[in-house]
Amino acid sequence: MRGMLFAAAFLFCAGVRADTVEMLETGLKLEGKVLRETDDFIILLMKNDSGQVRILKSKIKNIEYDIKTQLEKVAADDWTGKYKVGVWAFEKGMFAEAIGVFEELEGKENIPPDRMKLLGRSYEQREQLDKALEKYSDYLKLKPDDAEVAERVKVLAKEVGPANGGTTGQQNKPKIVDGLEGDGTWVGENWDNPVKAQIFTDPATTNKTIAVSSPGGAKPKAVVTRTGQPLNLSESKEMIFKIFYDSTVPGSIAVAFFNSQGEFHETRAQKLVPNSWNSISVKIDAKDFKTEKSGWKHEVGLEGKERISRVVFMFYAQKFNAHIDSIFFK
């Protein structure tokens, strides 16, 4: 066995490798790619991927993994495959690498809700407690009955402290700034499917969002409106916000505005990916709204935008829960 390993080192170690296997008895280091791993042995791919060595785990002192060797096995747009690599990195204790993969999957389709739970654990392992708290809180939006995570949120909320200061080195964290989501009156309308809406303050982070829920129904959409002090959008070019969307299938959302004359202007709908935050941008100054005057075609600008009396969020979706956050105009 020892002779085979020295031969392998002599033949294969000249190239650039990613994973490094350190042998227990000799201290010899072999570089390659861990192709397969069982409870008893590994298969190490070497020599520009043309040679393989089977090594008993009982002979191995340590394996230094490189996540790049795992990511090379999946396509650039294979999000499910990348999620599995993130889980692999987490299980190997490679928390920084797992964070990088899991964060990349934000807003991607077909990703399990556990991504946020594992992301929270990874941040916690690296003592980034504020980020761990944030991700755990997001996870509880999807899985509110997870008692273990709920308990960790309680503990971390005490350690991190309020958003403008805490007890674990978080004192310099900037205070949360609420946008339109923290202002006015938000109501679920009975236009199509039933829907509920209310301002929600996260007890762990103090962040305000608009919590929206609908059981679905026979109609295509659920509608939420905001009333309050009229908005002057005459100098605004863009509306931005993000939505945490909890559903079994993708949906979409459009925004509409009522001006002071009661005229209704609706944007095009944008896709919502489940189990994730979705960043949405609406061009206020674009001639891409539809109204009764335009025959409901997206070809006019937003008229009367110096006095907007109501803002409307139109969810084209069936059964779902959502949180609307960070609504700002630029």
The whole-number pLDDT of residue 203 equals 87
Confirm if 308 and 282 have CB atoms less than 8 A apart. Answer: no
Q: What is the pLDDT of residue 68?
A: 87
The pLDDT value given to residue 10:
39
Identical topology for domains 2-64 and 180-329: no
What is the pLDDT, as a whole number, of residue 64?
Answer: 85
Secondary structure, 3-state, 134-161: HHHHHHHHHCCCCHHHHHHHHHHHHHHC
CATH no. for 2-64: 2.30.30.100
pLDDT for residue 9: 43
Question: Is the dihedral angle over the CA atoms 30, 35, 40, 41 positive or is it negative?
Answer: negative
pLDDT for 169: 44
Amino acid 177: pLDDT: 76
**Cα–Cα distance measured from residue 4 to residue 14, given in angstroms and rounded to the nearest whole number:** 16
Q: What is the pLDDT of residue 175?
A: 59
Q: What pLDDT is stored for residue 198 in this prediction? A: 95
CA-based angle 74:77:82, to the nearest 5? 50
pLDDT on residue 58: 92
Residue 108, phi-psi category: left (phi > 0), alpha (psi -120 to 50), beta (remainder): beta
Tokens of 288: 């891409």
pLDDT recorded at residue 2:
45
Tell me the C-alpha distance between 224 and 325, whole Å. Answer: 14
Q: What one-character DSSP code corresponds to residue 24?
A: T
Task: Outline where DSSP puts E strands in 156-290.
Answer: 185-188, 196-201, 208-214, 222-231, 238-246, 251-259, 264-266, 270-272, 276-283
- The topology (CATH level 3) of 180-329 is Jelly Rolls (2.60.120)
- pLDDT value of residue 264: 97
Backbone angles phi and psi of 99, in degrees to 5: -60, -45
Which parts of the chain fold into alpha helices (H)?
2-12, 67-71, 79-91, 95-104, 114-125, 129-142, 147-160
- Residue owning tokens 């594992």: 118
Tens of pLDDT along the chain (330 residues) come to 444 444 444 334 444 447 889 999 898 988 888 888 899 999 988 877 778 889 999 999 988 888 888 898 899 999 999 999 999 999 999 999 999 999 999 999 999 999 999 999 999 999 999 999 999 999 999 999 999 999 999 999 999 865 434 444 444 454 567 899 989 999 999 999 999 999 999 988 889 999 999 999 999 999 999 999 999 999 999 999 999 999 999 999 999 999 988 999 999 999 999 999 999 999 999 999 999 999 999 999 999 999 999 999 999 999 999 999 999 999
- pLDDT value at residue 6: 42
Domain boundaries, the chain: 2-64, 180-329
